Amino acid sequence: MASDPVTLNEFLTERLGAGGVVDDPNDLLRYITDWAGDHRGKPLLVARPRTTEEVAEIVAHCHCHGIPMVAQGGHTGLVGGAQPDAERPELVISLERLSRIREIDPLNFTISVDAGCVLQSVKDAAMEHDCDFPLSLGAQGSCQIGGNVSTNAGGLNVLRHGMMRQLVLGLEVVLPDGRVWNAMHALHKDNRGYDIKQLFIGAEGTLGIVTGAVLKLTPRAQATRTALVAVPDVAAALALYGQARRSCCDLLSAFELIPRACLELAFEAAPDLPDPFDTVYPVYVLLEVAASGSVDLDAMIEHLFEHGTTAGMVLDGVLAGSDAQAERLWQIRERMVEGQQLRGEHLRTDIALPISSLGDFFHTASRAMAARSPETMVIAYGHIGDGNLHFNLLPPADLDLAAKKTLLHDLEAALFSLVDDYHGSISAEHGIGRVKQTSFLNGLDATERELFEGIKALFDPDELMAAGRILPRTR
């Protein structure tokens, strides 16, 4: 039998050499567990190709012998998409050894990279040429470009620079039959028919394996200012956002909503972290402006503070006076995620709404959750400038794990139904994978589902590539 691990192992070892195959159960562990430790699968084996050609050879072999496969990057996905299937063992194709920066062209503001490059290394390479690669995520030290493309990653700077989709100019993809689709174009404009690359971006590896990308760079920021602003409520944070877009001339690179409860979680995770204010405020906004040339950013932010104070939108504010102080403000944003993790079982969501509906949704959803489970704690923070709310729920501590899971499952369904009412999305940036599939399919109309299925069938009629992600397997 072709998908017999022994035969496959022989093929891979012959093609890739000794370091190219992982079959030791201990070594396999890191390829089957994701960041949150939530998802584990059962791989046939792990292949570690070094070049696009090797990826193509492996895929062609799998295609020929009907072996299911799944590509894997930095294991930082949040929807279980890259973990091997537990029921139908898949060959994991790890891109980690395709980690070459192929070319940097600072005048064209582009960088061309292998899919296995870690995001941080791409950012570092850009910086050496006085450029920035603006994608910024908590996971940037380990996530890989191929994963960023395949999940259309978002993060902190979407407000200004867009999601990964807006940053990709060219792609190289190994199709599910092993053919290489080479469109590594370093062109800022290209209107030659259907923009095929858009299908691979955000496809979670279901249509092909991204092996290379040409990415857009921006001029390196020479100055950055970070501020934490206290506001009376979410509505004020939204009004301040509208003003900030204008006052800051779209130099706004982050605008994060942080209710007080999130600050408390950050202090739980990092007791040494100081509260930047003497007073406790209900809601905070962490904002950042950045400029590559000489603009008076301090004056810009002070003007925003003054205007906001006069209009009753701003209660208090602190403008970081040094990089270290800015770093401490960002620590609040990062450590609160850790604090949430420390509380154990909880529900993470990733909702998008029209920005103008965020305030209303926030209150309606909070009330709806409280009505169903008064003891459950709402931890709702997010990228306001993108309309993206991580409306998370911490169940009462005294429930046992099974009861927590059941409760969270019910609350999620109620929450997602509200998201629908508000014409929102149940996945702003995390994707669908397997975790969100049921909710996703519930919201998909028949026409759209037919188009989705048609696209999957066009690229991968045998359902061998990342099957079961986004859409369910049909065989």
- Position among 18, 25, 37, 194 found at the interface with a second copy (CB under 8 A): 194
The CA distances from residue 363 to 38, 51, 290, 326, 369, in Å, are: 30, 51, 32, 30, 10
End-to-end CA distance of the chain: 19
Nearer CB in complex with a second copy: 175/261 = 175
What is the rounded distance in angstroms from the CA atom of residue 51 to the CA atom of residue 62? 17
- Position among 260, 448, 472, 473 found at the interface with a second copy (CB under 8 A): 448
Contact flags string 370-399 toward a second copy, x per CB under 8 A: -------------x-xxxx-----------
The C-alpha angle 237, 243, 247, rounded to 5 degrees, equals: 135
The CA distances from residue 323 to 24, 122, 223, in Å, are: 45, 22, 10
Report how many residues bind a second copy under the rule CB under 8 A: 99
Query: Does 426 interact with a second copy (rule: CB under 8 A)?
Result: yes
Query: Does 312 interact with a second copy (rule: CB under 8 A)?
Result: no
Transcribe 317-352 into DSSP letters: EEE--SHHHHHHHHHHHHHHHHHHHHT-S-B--BEE
Nearer CB in complex with a second copy: 26/447 = 447
Query: Does 69 interact with a second copy (rule: CB under 8 A)?
Result: no
Transcribe 232-290 into DSSP letters: SSHHHHHHHHHHHHHHTTT-EEEEEEEEHHHHHHHHHH-TTPPPSSSS--SEEEEEEEE
Query: Does 431 interact with a second copy (rule: CB under 8 A)?
Result: yes
Nearer CB in complex with a second copy: 74/134 = 134
Nearer CB in complex with a second copy: 229/261 = 229
Residue range at the interface with a second copy (CB under 8 A); choices 41-49, 52-60, 83-91, 175-183: 175-183
Query: Does 455 interact with a second copy (rule: CB under 8 A)?
Result: yes
- Residues 98-157 close enough to bind a second copy by CB under 8 A: 105-110, 130, 151-152, 154
Query: Does 60 interact with a second copy (rule: CB under 8 A)?
Result: no
DSSP-assigned beta bridge partners for residue 40: 33
Minimum separation from the CB atom of position 195 to a second copy (A): 6
Nearer CB in complex with a second copy: 46/304 = 304
- Position among 22, 227, 234, 471 found at the interface with a second copy (CB under 8 A): 471
If one counts every other C-beta atom within 10 angstroms of the C-beta of residue 311, the result is: 12
Query: Does 429 interact with a second copy (rule: CB under 8 A)?
Result: yes
Query: Does 353 interact with a second copy (rule: CB under 8 A)?
Result: yes
- Position among 295, 318, 368, 414 found at the interface with a second copy (CB under 8 A): 295
- Position among 28, 101, 199, 399 found at the interface with a second copy (CB under 8 A): 199
Query: Does 187 interact with a second copy (rule: CB under 8 A)?
Result: yes
Nearer CB in complex with a second copy: 259/424 = 424
Helix (H, G, I), strand (E, B) or coil at 80: coil
- Residues 243-272 close enough to bind a second copy by CB under 8 A: 245-251
Nearer CB in complex with a second copy: 102/185 = 185
- Position among 48, 348, 430, 434 found at the interface with a second copy (CB under 8 A): 430
DSSP-assigned beta bridge partners for residue 257: 285, 382
Residue range at the interface with a second copy (CB under 8 A); choices 115-123, 141-149, 177-185, 225-233: 177-185
What is the rounded distance in angstroms from the CA atom of residue 453 to the CA atom of residue 345? 34
Amino acid present at 366: S
Query: Does 82 interact with a second copy (rule: CB under 8 A)?
Result: no
Whether the CB-CB separation of 221 and 160 falls below 8 Å is answered with: no
- Position among 122, 175, 315, 407 found at the interface with a second copy (CB under 8 A): 175
- Position among 25, 271, 293, 374 found at the interface with a second copy (CB under 8 A): 293
Query: Does 363 interact with a second copy (rule: CB under 8 A)?
Result: no
Query: Does 198 interact with a second copy (rule: CB under 8 A)?
Result: yes
The encoded tokens of residue 24 equal 């030791």
Query: Does 300 interact with a second copy (rule: CB under 8 A)?
Result: yes
What is the rounded distance in angstroms from the CA atom of residue 159 to the CA atom of residue 136? 11
Nearer CB in complex with a second copy: 395/431 = 431
Whether the CB-CB separation of 337 and 284 falls below 8 Å is answered with: no
Strands 43-47 and 90-94: parallel
Whether the CB-CB separation of 228 and 345 falls below 8 Å is answered with: no
What is the rounded distance in angstroms from the CA atom of residue 409 to the CA atom of residue 393? 11
Minimum separation from the CB atom of position 357 to a second copy (A): 8
Nearer CB in complex with a second copy: 31/200 = 200
Minimum separation from the CB atom of position 422 to a second copy (A): 10
Query: Does 28 interact with a second copy (rule: CB under 8 A)?
Result: no
DSSP-assigned beta bridge partners for residue 182: 172
What phi and psi, each to the nearest 5 degrees, are found at residue 335? -70, -25
The packing angle between helices 297-310 and 234-247, to 10°, is: 140
